[in-house]
Amino acid sequence: MLNTRLRRQGFTLLEMMIVVGIIALLMGAGIAYLTDPFVDAQKVKAQTDITAITTALFSFRARNGNYPSTEQGLKALTPNVMEKLPKDPWNRNYAYRFPGKMKPHSFDLYSQGSDESNAADDIGNWDLP
């Protein structure tokens, strides 16, 4: 009877490894679940900024008869129309061109997304309703 009680007092190495493995799986799933809302929040911030800058561009056009040229860029909006231009969620300037390629009879206003080289993750005024 003494022998049985001594063997039951602790955990075996195999039991500990199984518990650590389960904890690692749960942590991995939790981290994956928490990163998606952050990415979505970055996209929403970019869309909100693009909407605000678009409104400022409409105001600029109402005052001056046309949108700023690509060369003038968004800096033409400061300080008369916008006090300060926002940065995109990745701390870069928003890109602007007039006339636009995606919206030929208007302007293109967009963020180059999380990586500047992949056009597939660009967030632009052509994506907005």
Q: Is residue 70 part of a domain?
A: yes
Q: How far apart are CA 98 and CA 42, in angstroms?
A: 25
30 within a domain of the structure (yes/no): no
What confidence tier does 4 reach under pLDDT thresholds 50, 70, 90? low
Q: Which domain holds residue 109?
A: 42-116
From edge to edge, which strands make up the β-sheet containing 95-97?
Answer: 95-97, 108-111, 123-124
pLDDT, tens digit, 9 for 90 and up, residues 5-58? 555 667 788 888 888 888 888 888 777 676 666 777 888 899 999 999 999 999
Give a yes or no: residue 56 inside a domain: yes
Residue 122 has pLDDT above 70, yes or no: yes
46 assigned to some structural domain: yes
Residue 24 lies in a domain: no
b/e burial code for range 21-60 (CB count within 10 A of at least 16 → b): eeeeeeeeeeeeeeeeeeeeebbebbbebbeebeebbeeb
Please indicate, yes or no, if residue 35 is contained in any of the structural domains: no
Over residues 120-129, the mean pLDDT reads 81
Closest CA to 129 of 54, 68, 58: 54
Residue 74 burial (CB count, 10 A): 20
**Is the entire prediction scored with pTM above 0.85?**
no
Residue 64 is assigned to a structural domain of this protein: yes
Domain count, the chain: 1
Beta-bridge mates of residue 108: 97
Q: For position 108, which CATH number holds?
A: 3.30.700.10
The pLDDT value given to residue 6: 55
| 10 located within any domain | no
Residue 122 three-state SS: coil
129's tokens: 């309703």
